[in-house]
Structure formats: C-alpha cells, structure tokens
A = this chain, B = another copy of it.
Amino acid sequence: MHIGEKIIDRPLRWGMVGGGRTSNVGYKHRLGALRDNTAFQMVCGAFDLDYERCIDFGKNLGMDPKRLYPDYKTMFEEEAKLPDGVEVVDIATPNFQHYEVVKAALEAGLHVICEKPLFFEVEQGLEMQKLAEEKGKLVCVTYGFSGSQLLLQMRHMVKEGMLGKIHMVDLKYTHGYGCDPKGDVQSEGQKWRVDPTKVGKSFVLGDLSTHTFYESQLATNDMKVKQVLCDRQAFVGSRYPLEDNAYVLIRYEGGAVGRMWTSCVDAGTIDTQVIRIVGSKASLEWHDANPNLLYYQEQGKPAQTMVRANDYLCDECNADESLGATHIEGLSESWANIYLKFAAAIDAKNRGDEEKLKNMVYPDLQHGIDGIRWISACAKSADQGGVWVDFA
C-alpha cells in the first residue's frame, strides 16, 4: 500500500520533452511522476515548440524559468553542464519524434520514459535496445492504464491456473470521440494523429489498441502471439490510408485465440477498454471504465466481483493500492503506479541491481517494441486485404 513514503533514496531529476499546455497526456505524466514528490522531481522542460508558451506554462507549474528550453537538444546540452542536471527524460511528443529524441537522450546518458507507440519500425526499437544496453540506461514506456492494480490480480490468477488453460483473449478499446471529423483539423492534439507522416502506420491501432494489447500481455504473463489478421476502415474518409476502426483476430502459440476491436468511431460508447480472458474453467473480465472491479466467473458457480484493496487479492495487487477499500481509484493512480515502478527500475539500474531489475514487472523497452510489432503486423495484414500474417 502506497501512502507517499519514499521507495528510493532520493527523487530522480526528471524533465519533459513535449507534454505542454495543449497536450492531453502531459498532465498524466506529471501526475504519475510527481504524485508524492518522493520518486521524481521535475527540474526542466522543453514542453512546446512554441518557446513563449513553454516558458509561460513552465512558470505556471512553478518551475525555474532558466531550465525551460526551446527544444530537446538545447535541454540535453545545457542540463549536461549542471551539477544537478536532469537524469531522466520523459518524451511526450507526437510519435514521429520519439525515435530521434530517445536516441539523443540515450546518447546524452539519460534514462528515458517514452510515450507509446514507441517508434514506426521494429528495427528502430532493436537499435535503441542495443544503444540502451551500451549506455547502461533504461527505456520505459508509458502504457498509462497498465498500472491499474487489478491487472496484476489477473496476471496472478492466470499464472496460478485459476482459469484453467487459457483459450480466448477478448480485447476492446473503442470510443466515439472521432465520429466528428472536426477534431482532426481543430485540435492540436488530434491533428498529428491523423497525419501518416507524424503518427506512422496507424491511427487507432497505435493510439488506442497498443495500450490494451500490452495490458493483455501483462494479464496473461506474456502469452506469445503467433499470427494476426486485421481488417481496418476509415469511416471518416479523410483519414485514409489510416484507420479509425479496426478488427483484429489473434492466434496464440499453443492454440488459444483472441480478438481486438479498436475504434474512435464507436459512437457514444462509455465502456472503452475491456479485457476478457477465458480459460477452460473460468473467465476474468476487467473494464477500464471502472478499474476498481474485476469479474471472476467460474463455470457452474456464481459470478464473483472482486473489488480493489481487499484481503482476498494477491500481494502484488494490493502492494499497488493507495486509497483503501471503498475509495475509488482512477487513472491517476495507474500512472502513479507505473511511474513508481520506473523509479524503482531506474534506481536498480543505477545501483547495478540487475537481479531486481530482471524480476520487475513493468512496461519496458521490450514491451514497447512488441507494441510496434503489433501495429506493423496489423497494418500489414489489413493492407494485404485482411489475411493472416506472422507476428514476428
């Protein structure tokens, strides 16, 4: 149970690239990192391509204006000169910049926390993996929903065989806020997401479903995907060749199967992410729309609703709870939990504690690369007319 006490010796010096005033996700990064002021402290930022706005915004966050920079290159350069310069850089820019900023950060000897989806190509991921290893640094990926503690309960129950053999994995991440195409031209946060040069091979497959795919990997103890088949559409035609809706069928190694539905044109939906894992004797289901509940349905028995922060949950799960039973947690707790793990992992890396690092469960570079692989395989399948392609 977290109550804000430190888990590492001192807060890590942390700075942001992107994530400024017009970013939807920037605030979540800050909420995650700075929740207790014991894991990270925000020392610098290159929040915005508009330097004026960057300075104004940073000042409004209470930051030292001297450490607000016009761009990431200047930031890395200037911070390197400081005795207490930034140690960890957080990248919350549009996708197309991830690769160059991650590379520059690693080369500058910084740990990296980067938004998903990581890069455009799996190869870029493998290159960064090599570079990170050389530099002895970590690259963490902000699958921001994955800190919901009941996902760890799912992982535990799957591992313990409480579902029997896993047969099906049913995944969904849909909403309807893309029904109105006006957002594509009016919202700064949306504009680049429908521009293939900035977002990569996909819109919703990358923007939404990579979250749910990672969460399903977390919950299933990284069940290996063998093949995927994807059919995708642009119901708002201007989004073509990107998609605003996609169906994916999945075949796992060992015979299990799965599905994903991802969409931003699922008009009016109020139940966005759903993860259902079906085994030979029981199922688990979790909805992002109320992450405090986990549904456990053993065939032939009354269905059970498990609630966060109760003694019947496993230790890994309850270790990440912070508000007590009957007190609802939301997305900010999820972000805080993954940032605490990033802090612990970076600290372990810094201390050379590879043993601890090996056993930690959090969204690391490998999971970031799997996300790229997911997008690439889905896009390839769809572009070939909806055929089975290997997930490799």
A interface residues with partner B (beta carbon < 8 Å)? 2-6, 11, 21, 24, 26-28, 30-31, 34-38, 57, 60-62, 163-164, 167-168, 170, 175-177, 179-180, 229, 231, 233, 235, 245, 247, 249, 251, 255, 257, 259, 261, 263, 265-270, 272, 278-283, 288-292, 296-307, 310-312, 322-333, 385-388
Q: Which of B4, B164, B167, B231 contacts A27 (CB 8 A)?
A: B4
From the candidates B36, B37, B247, B267, name the one contacting A298 in the complex (CB within 8 A).
Answer: B267
Contact A272 B326 (CB under 8 A): yes
Chain multiplicity (copies):
4
**Known contacts A179-B281, A331-B328, A388-B385; A268 and B301 CB within 8 A of each other:** yes
- Cβ of A302: which chain B residues have Cβ within 8 Å of it? 296, 304-307, 310, 312
Contact indicator B303/A310 (Cβ below 8 Å): no
Measured between C-beta atoms, what is the minimum distance from A323 to chain B in Å?
5
A38 pairs with B24, CB closer than 8 A: no
Q: Could you say which residues of chain B place their CB within 8 Å of the CB of A281? A: 179, 267
CB-based nearest B residue for A1: B27
- A62 interface neighbour in B6, B61, B331, Cβ under 8 Å: B6
A304 to chain B: closest CB distance in Å? 4
Bound form: Cα–Cα A315–B383 in Å: 44
CB-CB under 8 A for A163 and B267, given A61-B4, A249-B249, A259-B247: yes
Task: Point out the residue from B263, B272, B310, B330 that lies within 8 Å of A329, measured CB to CB.
Answer: B330
Q: Which residue of B3, B288, B328, B387 is within 8 Å of A288 (Cβ)?
A: B328
Contact partner, A328, options B280, B290, B323, B327, Cβ 8 Å? B290
In the bound complex, how far is the Cα of B170 from the Cα of A69, in angstroms? 48
- Our pick among B60, B296, B301 for the contact of A312 (Cβ within 8 Å) is B301
Apart from the given pairs A28-B323, A267-B281, A304-B305, 11 other A-B contacts in the complex at a CB distance below 8 Å: A3-B27, A6-B60, A11-B62, A31-B35, A167-B265, A267-B297, A268-B296, A268-B299, A289-B328, A290-B290, A327-B331
Contacts of A176 in B (CB 8 A): 283, 297, 299
State the 7 A-B residue pairs at the shortest beta-carbon distance, nearest first.
A268-B297, A330-B330, A302-B304, A5-B60, A328-B330, A267-B299, A3-B27
Q: How far is the CB of A325 from chain B (nearest CB, A)?
A: 7
5 contacts between A and B (CB under 8 A): A36-B61, A163-B267, A168-B263, A176-B299, A266-B283
Determine the chain B residues whose CB is within 8 A of the CB of A180 once the complex forms. Answer: 299-300
- B305-A303 in contact (CB<8A): yes
Distance of A28 Cα from B328 Cα, bound (Å): 12
Q: B35 near A62 (CB under 8 angstroms)?
A: no
Distance in Å: Cβ of A12 to nearest Cβ of chain B: 12
In the bound complex, residues from chain B placing their C-beta under 8 Å from that of A310 are 300, 302
Contact B62 A38 (CB under 8 A): yes
Give chain B nearest CB distance to A149 CB in angstroms.
12
Known: A34-B37, A229-B229, A388-B386. A245 touches B299 (CB 8 A): no
CB within 8 A of A229: which of B179, B288, B289, B386?
Answer: B386
Q: With A and B bound together, what is the CA distance between A268 and B306 in angstroms?
A: 11
A132 to B327, CA, bound (A): 32
